[in-house]
Copies of this chain bind each other. A is one copy, B any other.
Amino acid sequence: MVSYVLRTGEKGSSAPNTREQIMRAVEELGYKTDFAARALRTGKSRIIGVVLPRINQGYLHSLVMELEEAFRNYGYSLFYSYFHSGDERHKSFGDAMDRMSAMNVEAIITPGLQDNMPDMSIPVIIWGNDRKGYDCVYPDKTAFGFDVIKRLYENGHRRILVAGIIEDSRYAAMKEAMCRYGILEQAHFFDGVASAKNAVVVMREIAGMELRPTAVVFHSDEMAVSGIFEAYRLGIKVPQEISVIGYDNLPIGTWVAPMLTTYDQRFDVMAKELARVTVCRLKNPDVPRLSVGIEMNYIERKSFIAITH
Residues of A within 8 A of B (CB): 32-37, 39-40, 45, 54, 56-62, 64-65, 68-69, 77-82, 99, 101-104, 196, 222, 225-226, 229-230, 232-233, 251-252, 254-257
Task: Give min CB distance, A116 to chain B, whole Å.
Answer: 18
**For the complex, what is the distance from the CA of A251 to the CA of B57, rounded to whole Å?**
9
* Residue contact B58 to A57, C-beta cutoff 8 Å: yes
Which residues on the B side are within 8 Å of A257 (C-beta)?
A: 229-230, 232-233
Known: A40-B36, A56-B251, A57-B61. A77 touches B77 (CB 8 A): no
Residue of B nearest to A58 (CB): B58
Count of this chain's copies in the oligomeric assembly: 2
A255 adjacent to B196 (CB under 8 Å): yes
Extra 8 A-B pairs, beta carbons < 8 Å, given A35-B102, A56-B61: A35-B103, A36-B45, A56-B65, A61-B61, A69-B82, A77-B79, A79-B79, A222-B255
**Interface pair A225/B252, CB less than 8 Å apart:** yes
Closest CB of chain B to A229's CB: distance in Å?
5
Q: Tell me whether chain A's interface is mostly helix, strand or loop, or mixed.
A: helix
Residues of B within 8 A of A32 (CB): 101-102
- Residue of B82, B102, B226 near A33 (CB, 8 A) is B102
Task: State how many angstroms separate the Cβ of A81 from the closest Cβ of chain B.
Answer: 8
Please list the 10 inter-chain residue pairs (A to B) with the smallest Cβ-Cβ separation, ordered nearest first: A58-B58, A36-B39, A61-B61, A226-B255, A36-B40, A196-B255, A36-B36, A229-B257, A32-B102, A37-B40
Give complex CA distance A79, B72 in Å.
Answer: 13
